[in-house]
Every structure is written in structure tokens, then in C-alpha cells.
Amino acid sequence: MTSKELVIKTIKGENPGRTPVYGWLKANMEEPITKEFGSVVAFEDAYEFDMAHIFGGPGPFNKCIQHLRDAGETITPEMLLDIDFDDIDSESDYENVKQEMAHHRARDRFCYMQTPGIFEAMNGVFGIENHLLYLALYPDELQEVYTKLANWNIKNAHHLMDLGMDDIHISDDWGSQKSMMFSPAMHEELIVPHHKRIVAECKKRGVMTSLHSDGCITPALESVVDIGYDFIHPWQENCNMPYSLYLEKYRDKFAILGGVCVQSTLGFGKYERLESEIRRVFDLLKGQRWMCCTTHYVQNSCSIEELIFAYDLIRKLANN
């Protein structure tokens, strides 16, 4: 069975006994990994990663709002309604995606593609404080902006699906450490409908979809089910999201990617606790709709020795 087949079976609840393995490593760990293994690619090959999180392609705002930023403007929703988002139909913008896919396809990995979320993407335009304020002050204008972004996202998703992407991964942070950043009612009214549209377009073509959202999103889990996501990343146990909740209510609804917490487990130099936590999570989730991964990027406080210790254990438990 290939890695891609293993991941798809796991997401569908047909796990054959081996746990898929992945990790968010490159952002902070590229230098020590390269020194020890020669490259991050070599680390991924050594530990037989089953998935590939692909970045790249065009962005909606890379050029269109630069002149406003250069002028020191405070960008508001009304301004965005009068500005065309960046072009999405240039094949050259997808060359890096094609190259990444070719690399991972040669290893039969499941490829999922990072795409902008409805809420998170706008934080980079407005600033998160202003954005949260605009939710209350300009809901009608934001709804129009979100619709415009969702239309852009749908076109982007179709281009990625044309390339053969296995999963469209929407990054849309909704949670803080203990709660959501906005009310469930506001989330349901302003944000969820656009996710439904994007996911529905992908489902028409038989392509899986997934959500990345940091923090506590417990109040939004029914919306995740309603939207139709196949898996979410991460399920943050230390953000008021116990695995018991997943196992009791949601294991038949969607899969989860995560399990190795970078806030509390990996990167603290406490090897005994690290081993205990990894074994605990495997005991709870192995055989479920679960792919083992870090909950976010491994932080640079993690030594290469600790990373190797963790992945030696993860690969051993995943294969048993």
C-alpha cells in the first residue's frame, strides 16, 4: 500500500493498522536538520513521511494592496471592494506547486495544498485587531469582501485540482488558547457560508478538503461537520479540546492530523515526558481516523537530538 492510499484509507475510517506520519519542520528546523541529514528532504525520506503539505501558487493580495500600504493607509473593507485581487490564471504562478508535487508524487505521498482562509487571510490585510473590530462595525461590507475572496479561492482550488492535488487545505485560524476569537453566531453568519461554497466545489470533483485552525474551536465543531471537511489540523488538546471529545462525538465525522504538541510536548528537552506523551496519544488514537503530525511548526527550541528521538519513536509506534 502506498503512502497516499494509507492516508486516504485513514481519513475515510478504514485504517489498516499503520499510522500515517508527517510533521511541520522546515520553518524553524531547516538548518539543524540539514546539518545532520543533508536536507529536510532527506529527513522526510528517512522517516518515510506519508504526507506533503505544499505551499506556493498565487496569492490574492500580493500586489493589489501594496500601493495602499506604501501610502500608509489603514485599509478598510470598503477599500477592498474597489480593488481587483491578484490574477489567478497565470500558469507560471503554479510552477513551484508542480515541482513540489512531482517530488512528492515520486514518493507516493498524499499531497495537500495550503490555501487562504476567509478570516485568516484578511488579518494580513487589515491587521487582526482592526479585523475583529470590523466584524462588529462593517458586517455587510465584510460579507462582500469575504464573497470576493471565496470566489478567488474557488478559482484557485480548481487550478490546484486540475494539477491533481489530493486535498485543498484551508488555513483559517478561528481559535485563541481558550475560546474562539469571535462569537459562534458571528462565525456561523459571516464565515461558515463561504467555507461551504469552497468545500462544495471541491466535493463536486471528488477532492478532499481540510481545515487548519489553531486554538480552541470546540464551539465550531458542528460547523466543521456541516461544512463537510474530511480532516482538521490540529486537534489542540491543550486548548480545551480533550481527545475524549473527539472519540465520543466526532471520530465518525472527520479525521484529525496532529497529536505531537509543540506547545507542551516537543522542544522542551524533557525526554521522559516526551516519550510518555507520544505513547499516550498513540494509545488513544492509533487505529482511529488520525494521522500523526506536529500541532504546528516545531520551534527552534527543539534540538536535533530531541527531534530524532521523537521521530524514531513515532515511526516505531506508527508501524507496529
Q: Are 175 and 239 in contact, with CB atoms under 8 Å apart? A: yes
Q: What tens digit of pLDDT does each residue of 166-211 get?
A: 999 999 999 998 899 999 999 999 999 999 999 999 999 999 999 9
Amino acid at position 138, single letter: Y
Cis peptide before 32 (omega within 30 of 0): no
Q: What tens digit of pLDDT does each residue of 273-305 get?
A: 999 999 999 999 999 999 999 999 999 999 999
Q: What mean pLDDT comes out for the span 74-94?
A: 88
Average pLDDT, the chain: 95
Three-state SS at 169: strand
Does the pLDDT at position 73 exceed 90?
A: no
Q: Provide the strand spans (E) within 129-284.
A: 167-171, 208-212, 231-233, 255-260
Helical (H) or strand (E) element with 278: helix 271-285
User: Which residues, 6+ apart, have CB-to-CB distance to 102 below 8 Å?
Assistant: none
Q: CA 107, 108, 110, 113 torsion: positive or negative?
A: positive
Per-residue DSSP letter, 189: I
Q: Residue 118 burial (CB < 10 Å; 0-12/13-18/19+)?
A: buried
Give residue 280's pLDDT. 98
Listed ranges 44-48, 59-63, 84-88; the one with the highest mean pLDDT: 44-48
Strand partners, 169: 114, 210
Q: Are 19 and 317 in contact, with CB atoms under 8 Å apart? A: yes
Give residue 69's pLDDT. 76
Q: What mean pLDDT comes out for the span 38-65?
A: 93
State the pLDDT confidence band at 70, using cuts at 50, 70 and 90. confident
Q: Are 223 and 174 in contact, with CB atoms under 8 Å apart? A: no
Q: What tens digit of pLDDT does each residue of 93-148 get?
A: 999 999 999 999 999 999 999 999 999 999 989 999 999 999 999 999 999 999 99
Give residue 83's pLDDT. 85
**Is the domain 3-20+53-269+278-295+314-319 a CATH 3.30.2350.10 member?**
no
- List the grid coordinates of 248: 465520543
Give the least confident one: 48-52, 66-70, 286-290, 291-295: 66-70
Give residue 245's pLDDT. 97
Q: Where are the domains of the chain?
A: 3-20+53-269+278-295+314-319
Q: Using a cut of 0.85, tell me whether the model's pTM lies above it.
A: yes
Can you give the three-state secondary structure of 68-129, one letter per residue? HHHCCCCCCHHHHHCCCCCCCCCHHHHHHHHHHHHHHHCCCCEEEEEEECCCHHHHHHHCHH
